[in-house]
A = this chain, B = another copy of it.
Amino acid sequence: MNEIINCVAYADGRRVADVNLQDVHTALKDSRQFVWIGLHEPSEEILDKVKQEFNLHELAVEDAHNAHQRPKVEIYNDSIFVVLRTMMRNKENHTEFGETHFFVGDNFVVVVRHGPSVPYLEVRNRCESTPELLKKGQGFVLYAVMDFIVDHYFPVVHDMESELEVIEAKIFKEKPSRETTEEIYDLKRELLDVKRAVSPLIDVCNKLMRFEIQCITEETRPYFRDVYDHVMRINETVENTQELLNSAMEANFSLISINQSDVSKKFAGWAAIIAVPTMLAGFYGMNFKFMPELEWHYGYFALIFVTIAVCITLFYFFRKSGWL
């Protein structure tokens, strides 16, 4: 069955045996053992089996099937249900979100993976290679996978910081454009999505650190403080990026206005430079009987000379005062 990635019993930090989902209850008779099950988008039947095997609450199992949850931790009498969002950057440089759910009880941890995310085989291997940590039990497994998920937030957030820098460069170095405005908006939208995944985790970690939850031993609790710390830093970075993005939007807007002002000035300058010879030409196109300049032999050339002189003067004047 493809939905069940793994189902292994551990004792004293060491792998004991691969168990069949049906036989889990026999494995759990030995109170020193705990079972770590990895599922991937499981069908209702599989979840039903898990539910019966571990006596889970109907509503939590329903949530685990639907997979459109906010990050949260729900504390039932003898088990907890944890939801996290996973993040991955796809090839088109967009962030894709998945979900991972955990059921943790006294002697089991069930990890349910939905949507795009890196598989957790790596975490399992790492855990199995440090038996002195893994023997802390199912609470440590919860920590290890959560830490793994949260560590994958960092590259996503750093990518967004880089995008912000690209936008800043565009705003301050290039001309204002529709594209920049749209990019700002898109980044804002993505940041909101990331924030929605990250910020509820502060509360989740707090609960895991503080509450008297049976299935998490006391020596495991400081580890969740570590996750908490990472989440705080990511959250801070996201909020910082949001704030800078807002400022960038305003700066962009100021520069659009300055740019508009520059266009007006440039137009005004050139309009003046063209208007003066037009006016002069109009004057000597008048039909007055007696206009002495018209009779001069070099009148025409004198006018051309004067016109050019005036235009050049205006040009230098406007350039000096920053209009051209």
Q: Write the residues of chain A forming the contact surface with B, with a CB cutoff of 8 angstroms.
A: 57, 59, 63, 68-70, 72, 74, 76, 168, 172, 175-178, 181-182, 184-185, 188-189, 192, 196, 222-223, 225-226, 229, 232-233, 236, 240, 243-244, 247-261, 263-268, 270-272, 274-279, 281-291, 293-300, 303, 322
CB-defined contacts of A181 to chain B, threshold 8 Å: 172, 251, 254-255, 258
Instruction: Provide the residues of chain B in CB contact with A222, threshold 8 Å.
Output: 57, 59, 74, 76
Given contacts A175-B322, A192-B244, A196-B236, 17 further A-B contacts (CB under 8 A): A63-B229, A70-B236, A176-B254, A188-B247, A189-B247, A192-B243, A249-B250, A253-B257, A256-B257, A260-B264, A267-B267, A267-B271, A272-B274, A278-B282, A281-B283, A286-B303, A287-B287
What is the count of identical protomers in the complex?
A: 5
| Bound-complex Cα distance A168 to B186 (A) | 10
Q: Check A285–B289 contact: CB distance below 8 A.
A: no
Contact, CB under 8 Å: B278 / A275: yes
Pairs of residues from A and B, 5 with the lowest C-beta to C-beta distance, nearest first: A281-B282, A267-B268, A284-B286, A288-B300, A285-B285
- CA A184 to CA B303, docked complex, whole Å: 50
Q: Given known contacts A59-B223, A247-B185, A279-B277, is B268 in contact with A265 (CB within 8 Å)?
A: no
A270 contacts across to B, CB distance below 8 A: 268, 272
In the complex, what's the smallest C-beta–C-beta distance from A220 to chain B, in angstroms?
A: 11
Q: Is the CB of A182 within 8 A of B263?
A: no
Q: Does A254 lie within 8 Å of B251, measured CB to CB?
A: no
Query: Bound complex: CA of A102 vs CA of B256, how far in Å?
Result: 49
Note all chain B residues with C-beta closer than 8 A to A252: 254
Complex: chain B residue closest to A322, CB-CB: B175
In the bound complex, how far is the Cα of B275 from the Cα of A281, in angstroms? 13
Minimum Cβ distance to chain B for residue A321 (Å) = 10
Chain B residues near A189 (CB-CB < 8 A): 244, 247
